[in-house]
């Protein structure tokens, strides 16, 4: 590729954020909710939303280039299957997740990464002048959006991952840092003979939604700090936990699980492991976004295994799933 072609390619790459921005605009305006199942004329749709038809047309054209909607004559657009989860009433609605992933928490910090990677501190503190926790304390609506978005992202993958987990026929599984309990619920529904423990900080675990899960007394809710201690269990589930922490804290979390692990038990580290070969993978985008808000990041197996070993565990195998996440199966070393 010569320099001119390279330049044109890079210009296109530099404008790729426009697709995410258009997707956010559609989510903010609830465009998918208003489109329904039939083609909608741009003029009527704009009048219903309360925006300029010409501007809305340009947003929809941008989304059509990504297969979210399709243009139809005369001057109409139709919501496609790939965009259906943008509807608020979709069984696995992605709207809150789209709003979360395109929020300033990620948007502004990602923009500043070129400056902030000169230091070891997350970009968030440099951009906003406070920690992520302090920011959420001052902006509860943003915190609610962030965690609602995280929940819908998790809901879309929980059942798939639960079916892929290597679990015993009976015993106790503990979901560490499980917050609302969505993943634990999926695991217990997939394995009717298991009992479950939902473990998180006192202020988070009270928000769980297992009261009406129909699990017939199979769950226990426990509050604590996974950096210090966790309840005894046969299997620990660490879904999207280790990637939030730096190496030393990750070893500490894994170590608390190792000390409380029952004989013959397992610790399942479930994260978006980065492939060892070049190529597109969702873990790469998330790894970049995490440069902004957390001291951790997505790891390769080669980066994760030494942390597992230092915690007194042994990596047995890595199980891929039909999601961006993989399951690192570990046992006592």
> CA-CA distance, 91 to 95, in Å (whole number)?
11
What ranges make up the beta strands (E) of the chain? 40-41, 69-72, 76-79, 171-176, 194-200, 219-223, 233-239, 261-271, 313-320, 326-332
> CA-CA distance, 62 to 44, in Å (whole number)?
19
Supply angle C-alpha 180, 185, 191, rounded to 5: 160
CA 315 to chain centre: 24
Q: Residue 159: left if φ>0, alpha if ψ -120 to 50, beta else—which one? A: alpha
Q: Is 243 a catalytic residue?
A: yes
Helix ranges, 222-281 (H): 247-260
> CA-CA distance, 235 to 194, in Å (whole number)?
10
CB atoms within 10 A of CB 93: 19
> CA-CA distance, 286 to 24, in Å (whole number)?
17
With a CB cutoff of 8 Å and minimum separation 6, the contacts of 192 are: none
> CA-CA distance, 171 to 233, in Å (whole number)?
8
Q: Provide the 3-class DSSP secondary structure of residue 178.
A: coil
Catalytic residue among 111, 208, 243, 294: 243
CB-based contact 145:160 (threshold 8 Å) = no
Q: CA quadruple 211, 158, 95, 99: dihedral positive or negative? A: positive
> CA-CA distance, 248 to 36, in Å (whole number)?
49
Peptide bond connecting 74 to the previous residue in cis, omega within 30 degrees of 0? yes
Enumerate the active-site residues: 243
């Amino acid at each position: 590729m010569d320099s001119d072609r390279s330049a044109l390619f890079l210009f296109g790459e530099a404008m790729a954020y426009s697709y995410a921005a258009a997707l956010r605009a559609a989510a903010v305006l609830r465009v998918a909710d208003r489109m329904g199942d039939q083609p909608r004329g741009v003029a009527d749709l704009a009048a219903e939303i309360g925006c300029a038809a010409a501007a809305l047309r340009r947003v929809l054209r941008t989304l059509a280039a990504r297969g979210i909607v399709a243009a139809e004559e005369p001057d109409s657009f139709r919501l496609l299957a790939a965009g259906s989860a943008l509807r608020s009433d979709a069984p696995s609605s992605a709207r809150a997740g789209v709003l979360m992933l395109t929020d300033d928490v990620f948007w502004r910090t990602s923009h500043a990464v070129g400056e902030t990677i000169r230091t070891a501190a997350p970009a968030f503190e440099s951009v906003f002048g406070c920690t992520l926790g302090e920011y959420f304390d001052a902006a509860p609506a943003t915190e609610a959006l962030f965690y609602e978005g995280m929940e819908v992202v998790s809901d879309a993958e929980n059942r798939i991952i639960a079916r892929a987990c290597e679990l015993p026929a009976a015993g106790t599984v503990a979901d560490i840092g499980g917050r609302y309990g969505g993943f634990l619920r999926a695991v217990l529904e997939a394995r009717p003979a298991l009992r479950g423990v939902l473990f998180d900080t006192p202020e988070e675990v009270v928000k769980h939604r297992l009261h009406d899960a129909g699990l017939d007394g199979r769950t226990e809710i426990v509050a604590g700090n996974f950096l210090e201690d966790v309840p005894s269990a046969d299997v620990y589930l660490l879904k999207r936990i280790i990637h939030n922490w730096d190496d030393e804290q990750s070893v500490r979390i894994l170590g608390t699980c190792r000390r409380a692990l029952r004989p013959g038990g397992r610790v399942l580290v479930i994260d978006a492991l980065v492939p060892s070969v070049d190529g597109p993978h969702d873990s790469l985008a998330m790894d970049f976004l995490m440069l902004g808000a957390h001291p951790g990041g997505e790891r390769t197996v080669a980066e994760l295994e030494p942390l597992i070993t230092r915690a007194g565990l042994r990596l047995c195998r890595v199980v891929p799933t039909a999601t961006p996440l993989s399951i690192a199966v570990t046992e006592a070393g």
